[in-house]
Amino acid sequence: MEYKFRKFQYNKISEDESLEKGKEFYEVMKKRRSIRNFSPEKFDIGLIELAIKTAGTAPSGANKQPWRFVIVESPVVKKEIRIAAEKEEKESYERRMPQSWLDDLAPLGTDWHKEFLEIAPYLIVVFKIDFVKSDNELKKHYYVNESVGLATGMLLAALQNMGLSTLTHTPSPMNFLQKILDRPSNEKPYLLIPVGYPAEDAEVPDITKKQLPEIMLKI
């Protein structure tokens, strides 16, 4: 494939405007928390579609865009996902996780019960696509994990900017999602994201993020 090139359209803004936009976005994002107690209240699915459209603008290796976002609204399918996820999570908490991992999770109050998978009005299941088949030829994608990670980060930011709450859930292994959602063999589950409004009585751990000097260097 050959691409035509076009002049990049760019409207430069002042440093003051850049700073103001940056501060506003930071104030939105610093309020983001992982929510495990969702309200069942529904909202226009178009909000999620817009967030996914935003995620689709993410950079990717060789512009292969190796992602698929599946929105799950059906109560029947959500229940099936919860049952399968809890089966894997119970096994992990009771047999797979080393004690050090369990010790790190203990202060956060998590366990293998995942009621939120049914209560949240929507689930977004993110799949990574390692390759595609075209003209009887397998065509590999590049930097798949990195590309899907970038898109997922943009998805979470877009949802937060809309006032919606999320949780990044990674039951392991996640192969059951491929089967339940009837995805082809080249699509592998990457992340499961419940989306909705927090329940009125939702609580989150009183934790802090690392300060700027802990995560940044100037050289």
Residue 22, SS3? helix
Query: For 163, which DSSP code?
Result: T
Break the chain into its structural domains and give their ranges.
35-199
C-alpha–C-alpha distance, residues 29 and 2, integer Å: 38
Reading the block at residue 138, the tokens are 């397998």
Provide CATH code, domain 35-199.
Answer: 3.40.109.10
Residue 212 has pLDDT above 80, yes or no: yes
C-alpha–C-alpha distance, residues 138 and 134, integer Å: 6
Query: For 199, which DSSP code?
Result: P
Give the phi and the psi of residue 2 in degrees, each rounded to 5.
Answer: -115, 135
User: Over the stretch 72-122, which tens digit does the pLDDT of each residue have?
Assistant: 999 999 999 999 999 999 999 999 999 999 999 999 999 999 999 999 999
Reading the block at residue 211, the tokens are 């300060």
Reading the block at residue 78, the tokens are 């959500």
